[in-house]
Chains A and B, each alone.
Chain A
Amino acid sequence: MSSIVERIPVYEPPKSLSDVSSHYCPGCTHGATHRIVAEVMDELGLTDKAVGIASVGCSVLAYNYFECDMQQAAHGRAPAVATGVKRVRPELVVWTYQGDGDLASIGTNEVIHAALRGEKITVIFINNAIYGMTGGQAAPTTLIGQKTATTPFGRDKSWSGSPIHLSEMLALQEGAAFIARTSTHNPAHLGRTRAAIKRAFQTQLEGKGFSLVEILSTCPTNWGMTPVEALKWVEEQMVPVYPLGIFKDWQADGARSPAAAGAAAKSAKPAEGGK
């Protein structure tokens, strides 16, 4: 006599993620972050009411990888396109997916003004400290001392300034309702990233204002590291420069001044829970 042991899924790829192979390099965390965004879309039932705006950078082809509607914007202009879509169709959940070259360099102005206006959009901001797509040039997010194609001796503060802390800046704006920085370097932090993305989408669903999650990410190819070494580099080099945490949360910080929220963010714990 035999018995069939039934199996219960512990993890299966999300339905909102398209069933295709991606163009991303082996081990690039763009892939894991796409998967997590799709998991949240599944959980909140957003696949048929979300519109994603792809940007310019390695994730320019993100429109191939999600089952929701997608649009593609000119370099740095995803928040403007998202603004248009959201204002015309306020019932939709509109999100952008932007790299640090796209969002924190050519598009800095766009994202700041979207936050100032309190646009009810969600920004997924991929900080991998480099321009990945174009061959590894320095970004505003590049760390001091980091070697890139355009800083072959390491980024020199006296020459090109210091890494930009965009989440901290945006958290000071009244229109910003939820701002967090998370990381991708291990399963626990990927879980916190998922919780933060969920909170950001919920912020939009509740009509509270602008939401953004900055996600510390890898570019193994242009960093010249294996994917596993790159994850370690995020943990050891990037996290100390870019503190993780929630910098603004309409649920928690409602009564606090922006300055207090900013100060609290320094010691804030990463997003937890799923509510």
Chain B
Amino acid sequence: MSVVVMERVVFREDRCKGCEVCIAVCPQKIIALDSRINKLGYRSAAVKDQEACTSCGLCARVCPDAVISVYRPARPAKPAPAGEGRKAS
């Protein structure tokens, strides 16, 4: 059975000002500034390794610009009923 990978930490990158406060606080050290420049003119913060995120929420709680939302997975879902399974692989 495969599992659809879920993003634990989501950045509204057009709101980010590249202040690096989230980078400093992340215990997993998985946040980095992207090489692209967003429409505000800053390099936005991003997480590449979503698997390494523990959903601790610290980055979202320090962000001055409400850029970040954090999620955690629910209990592993029951197998989808036949015929209703989305993204079957």
Contacts and interface: CB of A to CB of B under 8 A. Distances in A.
Interface of B: 1-4, 6-8, 14-15, 17-21, 24-25, 40, 42, 55-58, 60-66, 68-74, 76-80, 85-89
Contact of A2 (B1, B58, B66): B1
Given A7-B71, A13-B66, 18 more contacts: A1-B79, A3-B79, A4-B87, A5-B3, A5-B73, A7-B8, A7-B74, A8-B73, A10-B60, A10-B72, A22-B65, A27-B64, A35-B66, A190-B61, A220-B19, A228-B20, A231-B21, A231-B24
Nearest to B60: A11
Contacts of B14: 21
A7 B6 contact: yes
Nearest to A30: B64
Given A4-B80, A17-B66, A228 B24 contact: yes
Interface string A220-240: 100000111001000000000
Contact of A12 (B21, B69, B89): B69
Contacts, number: 123
B28 to A, nearest CB: 14
A186 B42 CA distance: 23
A2 B21 contact: no
A74 interface: no
